[in-house]
Amino acid sequence: MVRTVGVEEELLLVDPQTRTAAPRSQQVLKYAAEHGIAAHDQLDHELFRHQLETRTRPAVDLADLRRDVIAGRRAAASAAAGVGLLTAATGAVPLPGGPPRTTRDDRYLAMVETYGEVARPGGTCGMHVHVHVASDEEGVTVIDGITPWLPVLLAISANSPFHHGRDTRYASWRSHSWSQWPSAGPVERFGSVAAYRDVSRRIIASGAALDEGMLYYDARLARSHPTVEVRITDVCTDPDDAVLVAALVRALVSHAAERPVEGIAWRAELLRAARWRAARYGLAERLLDPVTGELRPAREVLEHLLATVTEPLEDAGDAELVQDAVARVLSEGGSVRQRAAYERNGGSVAAVVDDLVGRTNAAFSA
């Protein structure tokens, strides 16, 4: 059985004159509703008003998933254009538009009040991949199995080198920034649903999360769907990169469900180190190998990943697409493309934003 997969993307709203983040999501969503632009539940708000979320339907065929990703971006761009804005898919805010403004929602306001300055990384933009699981028991087995591979997915998606007008020297500044939330990041093996629930209950009781929705584990059981939700990745500017990440997440979930817990038992300290290295360098340097725990060239780690998930990729008919896409991101991933735009334009972050807007919308604006 080929599992369904779905994607949520967080997009940045951009002022076309200044190229800065535009805190106007409420106007964008109002325009979308009044003009019938988006399908039900396709567009939504996020913690801060300079963000917009898109959602795909569950899909088996990656071609269908890609169409839905593009349809969500088209709807977001059309609604944004209706109020004079642009959209861009990037993990961090390249040029700020003033202090972040919180969406008018009691829960969001409580988050900002409780966590103060830590809440500001909520203005970054990630991509969440949902893959169907048969039960919570299977879901926890999957989370335990895929956790060491999650930093590799982060490295593939890394797409946020610029933040507030500066090159951060990170491939994924979003990941580093997001990790300030007290409930965010990697988790050690749970071993059972009871342990997962107990840890989650204790985190909420401690105040490190207000509710289950704030359990920002890199992979978690989804609250409202029978899925494992992988949350570690940056939003990708190019839809084909998003589809690659989704295909690899699905393959890893299928593999882990069939072959529970392979390789070394990773401590939280090493998981954080692997995550940091992926955020810092993306695919441009060595990564920690998820099976051996040793540093290896990124190309070799990706070859190891493809070898590990060969069977589920072939079962889904995704093997050739994934192999081609991996070769592409190894030569030019998201953070590399942003820095190339910066260099081509004499060190202009505004030009980076222009490039992001163009590539985000290229699939439907040609």
Q: Do the domain assignments include residue 271?
A: yes
Q: Do the domain assignments include residue 341?
A: yes
| Chain centre to alpha carbon of residue 363 | 20
Per the CB < 8 A criterion, the answer to whether 322 and 5 are in contact is no
What are the pLDDT digits (tens) for 172-209?
A: 999 999 999 999 999 999 999 999 999 999 999 999 99
Q: Do the domain assignments include residue 173?
A: yes
Give the CA distances from residue 339 to residues 19, 170, 308, 351, in Å, rounded to whole numbers and listed in that order: 17, 11, 32, 10
Q: Do the domain assignments include residue 137?
A: yes
3-state secondary structure of 172: strand
Residue 364 has pLDDT above 90, yes or no: no
3-state secondary structure of 280: helix
Q: Which of 234, 214, 261, 266 is nearest to 335 (CA)?
A: 234
Task: List Cβ neighbours of 281 (8 Å cut-off, separation of 6 or more).
Answer: 155, 171, 287, 298
Average of pLDDT values for 213-232?
96
CATH number at residue 172: 3.30.590.20
Q: Do the domain assignments include residue 89?
A: no
3-state secondary structure of 286: strand
3-state secondary structure of 51: strand
Task: List Cβ neighbours of 258 (8 Å cut-off, separation of 6 or more).
Answer: none
Q: What stretches of 83-135 show up as alpha helix (H) in DSSP? A: 106-115
What are the pLDDT digits (tens) for 283-314?
A: 999 999 998 899 999 999 999 999 999 999 99
Q: Do the domain assignments include residue 92?
A: no
3-state secondary structure of 293: coil
Give how many domains the chain has, as a whole number: 1
Per the CB < 8 A criterion, the answer to whether 188 and 199 are in contact is no
What is residue 122's DSSP assignment?
G
Cα separation, 56 vs 59, in Å, equals 8
Cα separation, 5 vs 225, in Å, equals 11
Q: Do the domain assignments include residue 190?
A: yes
What is residue 235's DSSP assignment?
P
Could you give phi then psi for residue 104, rounded to 5 degrees?
Answer: -75, 90
Domain encompassing residue 255: 102-359
State the chain's mean pLDDT as an integer: 95
pLDDT at 264: 66
What are the pLDDT digits (tens) for 71-117?
A: 999 999 999 999 999 999 999 999 988 888 999 889 999 999 999 99
Percent of all residues in the chain with a pLDDT value above 70, rounded to a whole number = 98
Q: Do the domain assignments include residue 249?
A: yes
